[in-house]
Structure 1
Amino acid sequence: MPCFVGDSKPLLVRVPGTGLHMHVTLWLLTQGETRKTKRVRLFTEFLSRRLAAYAPLLAGLSPSSD
């Protein structure tokens, strides 16, 4: 189970002493020359910023208590 899913459940705890293992690379593929169009470029930039905001959760770190 991804850590960010389990961390949202108060009755679940992480097993002490276990390491985090990254097994996934995220790729965004576009069709041919469409990546150069303004609409697709803006969307990929937006998606990149949103994913960067979730980087700690996707890396298995506990959510901050902001």
Structure 2
Amino acid sequence: MPIRGRLNNPMVQVAAAKAGLGIARIPCFLGDLEPALVRVPPGQSAPCHDVWILTHKDLVPTVRIQIFMDFMAETFRRQQDLLEGRCALG
């Protein structure tokens, strides 16, 4: 019987898979950037989580909070293909 392990940290899962310790179910934006890893089975991913940028309602009008939220929203838009698994290196 094979040895089994459960790793709940995606970065540890990436390291374990790169070390040849098995397969890992990790977000595409982590795995697709690792040339040593391939998707199993190969194919398209399906986005399964929404990303929300939240702040306390009293902080919404704060300039630094607005700047940060705008920056994060634009960064997510620019990286949408990577985040949604459409940038596989393989």
Q: Is TM (by shorter chain) over 0.5?
A: yes
Q: Say whether the 8 Å CA contact 2:60–2:66 is kept in structure 1.
A: yes
- Choose between structure 1 and 2: higher helix proportion: 1
The answer to whether the aligner puts 1:24 opposite 2:49 as a matched pair is yes
Q: Where does structure 1 lack aligned partners over 5 or more consecutive residues?
A: none
Larger Rg: 2
Q: TM-score, normalised by structure 2?
A: 0.57
Q: Where does structure 2 lack aligned partners over 5 or more consecutive residues?
A: 1-25
SS in 2 for 1:12: coil
Number of residues of Structure 1 aligned to a counterpart in Structure 2: 63
Q: Return the alpha-carbon distance in structure 1 between the equivalents of residues 67 and 45 of structure 2.
A: 33
Deviation at 1:54, TM superposition (A): 1.2
User: Relative to structure 1, is the Cα distance of residues 41 and 27 closer, same or farther in structure 2, using a 3 angstrom cutoff?
Assistant: same
**Structure 2 counterpart of 1:42, which letter?**
I
RMSD: 2.0
Q: TM-score, normalised by structure 1?
A: 0.73
Runs in 1 of length 4+ with deviation above 3 angstroms? none
The answer to whether the aligner puts 1:42 opposite 2:67 as a matched pair is yes
Deviation at 1:4, TM superposition (A): 2.4
